[in-house]
Each structure stands twice: as C-alpha cells, then as structure tokens.
Chains A and B, each alone.
Chain A
Amino acid sequence: MKKPESPRQIKTKTKKESLSREEQQKQLEFQKEAVVHLNSLYNYALHLTMNPDDAEDLVQETYLKAYRFFNSFERGTNCKAWLFKILKNNYINRFRKNSREPGKVDYDLIKDFYHSIKDTRSDTTEAESDYFHSLLHEEVYQALHSLPEEFREVIQLCDIEGFTYEEIANMVESPIGTVRSRLYRGRKLLRAQLEEYAKKYGFNTDTEDQ
C-alpha cells in the first residue's frame, strides 16, 4: 500500500532508520517462499525429535538461520529442500550430539508421543472402523520408526515430503544410487513390519481403504 511521501513521513523514516526497500522485499519474499513450508518443517522436526517442544525450537532456529542466510539461497531452486537441509543440520548439532544414542528407538516414547499429539487434533467420534483406522496409523508410525535411521529418513523425504532423488541425495549427502537402494531396502523392511502388525490386528494390508 503506497502512501504519498509527505515531508513528515520522510522525517520519521530517517529518524527511525527504518527498513530499506530491499529489506522489505526480502521479508515479503521470505514469507512467500520459505514460511509457506512451516507445516512440513514442523512435521519433519517432529519425526526427528519425537517431541513437540523440541520440534518447535528446532523450527524456530531453522527459520532464524534461513532468514539470515536467505540471500545465499538460489532463487528458482527448491526452497523447501534448502530449509530441510538447514533443519537437519540444526538437529544434528543440537540433539544428536548430546542426548540419546543415534538411531536408538524408544517405542514407549513413540507411543506416548503419538497419543499426546492425537489428543490435540480435533477428532470425530471413534466408531469401530475409526479405531482400526487410527490403530493402523500408529502401527505405521511405529513400523516406520523401527527402521534404521538412514532408511527411515529417505522414506520420509521421498514418500511423505515428495522430494526428488536428486534433492534427497543432496540433503543426505549421498549419491543417488545410495538413495535408491535405501528406499528399496527400507520399503522391504517396512513391508515386513507392517505385515506383522496387520496380522496382529486381523487387518489385511491388501484390502486398503474402507
């Protein structure tokens, strides 16, 4: 919204040493390009940290860094991929170095986490079919998290986030062939895991949606 530049405004501007046009432009662009991926980043952070508070911190840190280095982002390339990479690095620096053993899966943590998240969603009444539905959700979640991290990560980035192999290869810093083979093996493992759960609950993964 443009206002005519009255002498008074100009005076106020210089006094406050306010935003250059360039900076404003940067912010608008950042909002349009980067902030739109907030939900995706949050979910990725959740997968990594298994903790909503940590996830929130991680995302904030990521956006701070991203904003600071926004000028180094190559326009026209995939901003989401760029953000994911920053987030992953932050995650490694912040969490992996200190707390849990890398790759160790805490099943109770997953169960608790999933239930705590479930409660915050607006759920419809739990009919019996819903029970099986949501049960399968959780089992899928657990199955995914039972995978070794390098398999889980590529499945997440490919199947959930929809990145290309090239983008994934860049994010995980491995050749495309490696991404391909991890996806292949990861899916095989996952399939075996899901088979187990499906049997346990008498739910055949062949008959999909009701």
Chain B
Amino acid sequence: MNCKKARVLMSAAVDGELTLKEEQDFLAHLAECKECDEEYGEAKKTKMIIKERIVQFKAPQSLINSIMQLTSITAKEHEDTLLYE
C-alpha cells in the first residue's frame, strides 16, 4: 500500500470501517511510513477530542412533555375511559 491509498483509507481506519485485509495492509504501511503514522495518530486524537469535548445537552422538560403527550395522549384518554366507571 502506498501513501496515497493509505490516506484514502485513513478515516475508515480511524472509524473501524476497514475490511480485515485493508486493515492489515494499512497497518503494514504505517509501520514503514512515519508521515502516515503521525497523521493517523492525529486523526484519532481529533476524533477523540470531538467525542469528549462536544457537550451533549439534555432535552428541555417542555420538549420531553410534548413528545410524551404526542405518543400517549390517546392512550391516556383510553385509560381515563376505563377508569371512569
């Protein structure tokens, strides 16, 4: 595998989207190419930073309520009906 091919596959390597053969060839290339190896390390780090630093927020209660209402309001009517007598 040459550098050009390695770069094409690099993100797939970071994300575990390579076939076994591709992965083997890719890693073999990294073993003998310092540049690609470094670039691979940086790509992995970048992914990690995104995963860890981008904060995921909790949906506001108002939204939770309205979505729950959406899917259970008719069920609730039904339930009320049953309980009514």
- Categorize the interface residue count of chain B: 35 or more
In contact, B67 and A38 (Cβ under 8 angstroms): yes
Is B35's beta carbon under 8 Å from chain A? Answer: no
CB <8 Å contact, A38 and B64: yes
Between A and B, how many residue pairs show CB distances below 8 Å? Answer: 134
* Distance of A12 Cα from B59 Cα, bound (Å): 37
Contacts of B85 in A (CB 8 A): 8-9, 12
Q: For chain B, what secondary structure do more than half of its interface residues adopt (helix, strand, loop), or is it mixed?
A: helix
The total of chain A residues at the interface (CB under 8 A) is 55
Q: Is A46 an interface residue (CB 8 A)?
A: yes
Q: Which residues of A have CB within 8 Å of B67?
A: 35, 38, 59-60, 63
B78: which A residues are within 8 A, CB to CB? 16, 18-19, 24
Structural contact, B49 and A205, CB atoms closer than 8 A: yes
B residues near A (Cβ < 8 Å) are 7-12, 14-15, 17, 42-43, 45-60, 62-64, 66-68, 70-72, 74-75, 77-78, 81-82, 84-85
